[in-house]
């Protein structure tokens, strides 16, 4: 399928779900599904580049995912560190700028160091902005936003009467990015799972039964093609 010609979303957000099921179907340990899932990220980043999408946010690890068995969590953290180390040269080559949102200080030290290194190394790129959501929770983000606003009030920088939607948006992790236009969730689940609660208010949703490790460029193009047929109304007529 060719890339659609118009109405390309500026910002695509993806809930990359189904790694565990992908592994289970093959009688493999869950971590094998996560490894295959990391490979799927590559095609997706490339597809976004082909379509000239400006922002891609990937839900890689939720604030709630810390509740998983310790062995799985640790394996995921090691995978993240390895992925960043291995893929940074490719991000540089593809002019991708890496960013991250979430409670990043919750990540193991080695992960944080590699993450910041990759972010710094790609900071000068001006192609796709790839945003990884790590230890990310939408409710926590809103709480952090409220705390940050209160701090500014205490400092006397702002008055509470000045708080509006636009100002609050500037106190979220996503303050530098536009809201997502298209949300994709793989593996068929019809829920948000605490992802970008504030930012998804008027985002178009696309759910596919495909499991994340099987999600390829063609699937991304199909989602964008469907998006281009949608009529967005934002509460109007
Ligand atoms: C998504 O796949 C990856 C993460 C949440 C880290 P899952 O691990 O949730 O896979 P399923 O939902 O169990 O199939
Ligand atoms: C959402 O998937 C989080 C990520 C994809 C990182 P989960 O598998 O954690 O969500 P639930 O538990 O099905 O809602
Ligand atoms: Mg899941």
Supply the mean pLDDT for the chain: 97
17: annotated active-site residue: yes
Asked if the model's pLDDT at residue 175 lies above 80, the reply is yes
Nearest-CA residue for ligand 1 atom 12 is 18
Residues with CB under 6 A from ligand 2: 15-17, 59-62, 65, 189, 191, 193
pLDDT digits (tens, 9 = 90+) for 62-121: 999 999 999 999 999 999 999 999 999 999 999 999 999 999 999 999 999 999 999 999
pLDDT value, residue 192 = 98
What residues have CB less than 8 Å from 227, skipping those under 6 apart? 7, 9, 181, 182, 204, 206
Cα of 226 vs centre of ligand 3, distance in Å, is 24
8 A C-beta contact, residue 49 and residue 94: yes
Q: Could you tell me the two tokens for 221?
A: 């193009």
pTM of this prediction? Answer: 0.97
Asked if the model's pLDDT at residue 130 lies above 70, the reply is yes
Ligand 1: residue of 16, 20, 39 to mutate (most ligand atoms within 8 A of CB) is 20
Asked if the model's pLDDT at residue 5 lies above 50, the reply is no
19: annotated active-site residue: no
Which atom number of ligand 1 is nearest to the Cα of residue 34?
A: 3
The residue ranges of DSSP E strands in the chain, in sequence order, are 11-15, 55-62, 97-101, 129-136, 182-186, 204-208
- What is residue 104's DSSP assignment? G
Nearest ligand for residue 191 CA:
2
8 A C-beta contact, residue 119 and residue 98: yes
Walk me through the domains of the chain, giving residue ranges and CATH numbers: 11-137+180-228 (3.40.1180.10)
Cβ of 16 less than 6 Å from ligand 1: yes
């Amino acid at each position: 399928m060719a890339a659609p010609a118009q109405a390309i979303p500026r910002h695509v957000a993806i809930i990359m779900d189904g790694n565990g099921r992908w592994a289970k179907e093959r009688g493999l340990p869950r971590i094998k599904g996560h490894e295959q899932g990391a490979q799927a990220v590559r095609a997706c980043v490339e597809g976004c580049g082909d379509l000239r999408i400006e922002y891609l946010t990937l839900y890689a690890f939720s604030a709630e995912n810390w509740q998983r068995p310790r062995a799985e969590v640790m394996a995921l953290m090691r995978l993240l560190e390895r992925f960043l180390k291995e893929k940074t040269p490719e991000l540089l080559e593809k002019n991708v700028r890496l960013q991250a949102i979430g409670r990043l200080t919750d990540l193991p030290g080695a992960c944080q160091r590699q993450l910041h290194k990759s972010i710094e190394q790609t900071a000068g790129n001006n192609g796709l902005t790839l945003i990884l959501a790590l230890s990310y929770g939408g409710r926590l983000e809103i709480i952090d936003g409220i705390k940050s606003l209160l701090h500014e009030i205490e400092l006397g920088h702002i008055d509470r009467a000045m708080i509006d939607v636009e100002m609050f948006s500037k106190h979220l992790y996503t303050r530098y990015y536009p809201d997502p236009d298209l949300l994709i969730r793989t593996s068929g689940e019809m829920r948000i799972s605490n992802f970008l609660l504030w930012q998804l208010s008027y985002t178009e949703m696309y759910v596919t039964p495909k499991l994340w490790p099987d999600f390829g460029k063609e699937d991304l193009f199909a989602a964008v093609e469907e998006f281009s047929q949608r009529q967005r109304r934002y509460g109007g007529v």
